[in-house]
């Protein structure tokens, strides 16, 4: 079957990435879904389950386990998507994690790991995908960022995460200008505190999640589907003239 578009989503095994895959899945769509599979491979079935659900909705789906902490894996993933589908139209750089704590509490290695998985993998993905995105009728890049870049809600800081996400956000803005003449849009979605699936990676205790929901003006955490809806808009044909934007999906958290 000829596919209308090919979308690469990193971190697709749970939460926002999985919700985005489920939202995009339909006949004519091809999805290339990646995740790390957990630190010990135990989360590979979670990615397979998302892929099965997307296939059941009519999409063509390929999965790839790749640890983006390993230099070179982002390029490998893009090559694998191109080998499988022969084209690539849309990249959603979503894989990531958060590290909560003060500067002194944050282990030194988490600064480098955050930069590698969040910022560097985004850079490498986009660099590898650029020729294919340029050839696509509507090239799209979405960078999944976070409220932590410019907020310390309730005094809870995420310095390693903020630095890495902030670097990716700055890169996304400058690439939006560079890529606009090529017909590629580059946008950022910044979730507020967002519900985790049971197999997601949580940086907070249940008490801290309850406090986060209470702190959010909307009175609840974002759902992964709330964030996926905005990602889907940035990926859509309707967003042809929208680039370099950062849309917060945070129930008003950024306004207080
Ligand atoms: N949840 C929130 O409150 C929140 C708030 C703001 C921003 N965000 C951002 O939104 C994005 C998705 O968050 P989420 O809460 O939906 O996450 P999640 O459910 O914990 O899932 C994270 C995904 O990223 C993948 N991943 C983690 N480290 C990786 C690595 N080294 N290499 C490759 N893949 C890796 C995970 O793979 P495996 O599970 O297979 O290991 C998983 O698929 C992240 O970038 C996060 O920083 C989340």
- Mind listing the pLDDT tens digit for each residue in 16-35? 999 999 999 999 999 999 99
C-alpha distance from residue 139 to each of 132, 187, 247, 252 (Å):
8, 12, 19, 30
Q: Who contacts 20 (Cβ-Cβ below 8 Å, separation ≥6)?
A: 9, 12, 92, 94, 227, 228, 231, 232
**Greatest CA separation found in the chain?**
54
153 lines ligand 1 (CB under 6 A): no
Q: How far is the CA of 24 from the centre of ligand 1 (A)?
A: 18
CATH number for the domain spanning 206: value is: 3.40.50.720
How far is 21 from 5, CA to CA, in rounded Å?
13
Task: Provide the 3-class DSSP secondary structure of residue 202.
Answer: coil
The answer to whether residue 136 is domain-embedded is yes
pLDDT at residue 1 in the model: 67
Cβ pair 65, 82 in contact under 8 A: no
How far is 33 from 47, CA to CA, in rounded Å?
8
The answer to whether residue 44 is domain-embedded is yes
The answer to whether residue 60 is domain-embedded is yes
Helices (H) and strands (E) in the chain, counts: 8, 7
pLDDT at residue 239 in the model: 98
DSSP state of 41: S
pLDDT at residue 199 in the model: 80
How far is 248 from 187, CA to CA, in rounded Å?
11
Question: How many domains are there within the chain?
Answer: 1
- Of the candidates 19, 53, 163, the one whose C-alpha atom is nearest the C-alpha of residue 98 is 163
The answer to whether residue 19 is domain-embedded is yes
pLDDT at residue 23 in the model: 98
How far is 34 from 199, CA to CA, in rounded Å?
16
Q: Supply the angle between the helices 73-85 and 121-135 in degrees, to the nearest 10.
A: 30
pLDDT at residue 202 in the model: 86
The answer to whether residue 253 is domain-embedded is no
The answer to whether residue 239 is domain-embedded is yes
**Whose CA is closest to atom 2 on ligand 1?**
194
45 lines ligand 1 (CB under 6 A): no
Q: Beta 90-93 vs 5-9: how paired, if at all?
A: parallel
How far is 132 from 15, CA to CA, in rounded Å?
27
Chunked into runs of 10 residues, the chain (256 residues) has average pLDDT values of: 91 98 98 94 94 98 98 98 98 97 96 98 98 98 98 92 98 98 98 92 90 96 98 98 98 96
251 lines ligand 1 (CB under 6 A): no
Cβ pair 25, 31 in contact under 8 A: yes
Q: Which ligand 1 atom is the nearest neighbour of the CA of 67?
A: 32
How far is 141 from 133, CA to CA, in rounded Å?
9
194 lines ligand 1 (CB under 6 A): yes
64 lines ligand 1 (CB under 6 A): no
**Whose CA is closest to atom 8 on ligand 1?**
146
164 lines ligand 1 (CB under 6 A): no
How far is 215 from 152, CA to CA, in rounded Å?
12
**Whose CA is closest to atom 45 on ligand 1?**
96
Other Cβ atoms less than 10 A from the Cβ of 90: the count is: 27
The answer to whether residue 15 is domain-embedded is yes
223 lines ligand 1 (CB under 6 A): no
- Chain position carrying tokens 């090559």: 79
The answer to whether residue 255 is domain-embedded is no
Question: For residue 180, what are the domain limits?
Answer: 5-248
From 20, 35, 208, give the residue whose CB has the most ligand 1 atoms within 8 Å, as the site to mutate.
Answer: 35
């Amino acid at each position: 079957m000829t596919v209308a578009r090919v979308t690469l989503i990193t971190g697709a095994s749970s939460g926002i990435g999985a919700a985005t895959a489920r939202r995009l899945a339909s006949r004519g769509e091809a999805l290339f879904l990646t995740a790390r599979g957990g630190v010990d491979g135990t989360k590979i079935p979670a990615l397979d389950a998302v892929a099965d659900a997307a296939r059941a909705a009519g999409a063509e789906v390929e999965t790839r386990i790749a640890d983006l902490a390993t230099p070179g894996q982002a390029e490998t993933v893009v090559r694998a998507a191109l080998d499988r589908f022969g084209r690539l139209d849309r990249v959603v750089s979503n894989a990531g994690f958060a590290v909560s704590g003060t500067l002194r509490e944050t282990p030194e290695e988490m600064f480098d790991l955050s930069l590698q998985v969040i910022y560097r993998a985004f850079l490498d993905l986009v660099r590898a995908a650029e020729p294919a995105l340029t050839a696509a009728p509507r090239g799209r890049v979405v960078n999944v960022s976070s409220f932590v870049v410019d907020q310390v809600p309730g005094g809870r800081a995420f310095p390693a995460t903020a630095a890495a996400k902030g670097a990716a956000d700055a890169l996304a803005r400058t690439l939006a200008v560079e890529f606009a003449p090529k017909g590629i849009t580059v946008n950022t979605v910044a979730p507020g505190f967002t519900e985790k699936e049971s197999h997601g990676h949580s940086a907070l205790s249940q008490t801290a999640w309850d406090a986060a929901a209470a702190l959010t003006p909307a009175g609840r955490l974002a759902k992964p589907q709330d964030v996926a809806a905005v990602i889907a808009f940035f990926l859509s044909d309707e967003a042809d003239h929208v680039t370099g934007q950062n849309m917060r999906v945070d129930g008003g958290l950024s306004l207080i």
